[in-house]
Structure 1
Amino acid sequence: MVCIPCIVIPVLLWVYKRFLEPILYPFISPIINTFWTKKPVQDTSTSDQKVQNNGTYKPEANGEVTASGSTGEADKKTD
């Protein structure tokens, strides 16, 4: 048996997203924008890629095939 809030809350959220949000969003968005004025920080580099000076990516040698078709040497562990 499912509890009443487990049925009512998703239905109310669906009604809001489907019908009420398109009507209310133009009025609410200026208020929301005053609270969220910061732009998100975007990290373009990843741990497995290195950025060269001209803005292109140079993948590290991890044994995968590169764009030119050559295979980089895999890191071999020595015991």
Structure 2
Amino acid sequence: MVCIPCIVIPVLLWVYKRFLEPFLYPFISPIINTFWTKKAVQENGTSDQKVSEKSNGTCKAEGNGEVTANGSTTATDKKTD
């Protein structure tokens, strides 16, 4: 059995997003912008460039039977009875 808040809260959120937010957002947005004035953090891309310079583009298996970039498989270290 589902509790009442588990039904009511999603329905109220859907009604707000669907019908009320388009009318209320122009009035609420200036107030929200005063609290959230930070810009999103942007990466400069230097860490990605360093990683791509170090790797040569081949995939290596980690010893669990995965297929490598050239199509060969590695042996697994499983105990046999």
Q: How many residues align?
A: 58
Q: Which runs of 5+ in 1 are unaligned?
A: 51-57, 66-79
Match of 2:22 in 1: 22
Relative to its length, the structure with more helix (as a share) is 2
TM-score by length of 1: 0.62
Greater strand content: 1
Task: Report the counterpart of residue 4 of structure 1 in structure 2.
Answer: 4
Structure 1 residue aligned with 2:45: 45
Q: Which blocks of at least 5 consecutive residues in structure 2 are unaligned?
A: 59-81
Identity, in percent, stands at 79
Root mean square deviation, CA, Å: 2.1
| 4+ runs deviating over 3 angstroms | none
- SS for the counterpart of 2:41 is coil
Q: State TM-score, norm by structure 2.
A: 0.61
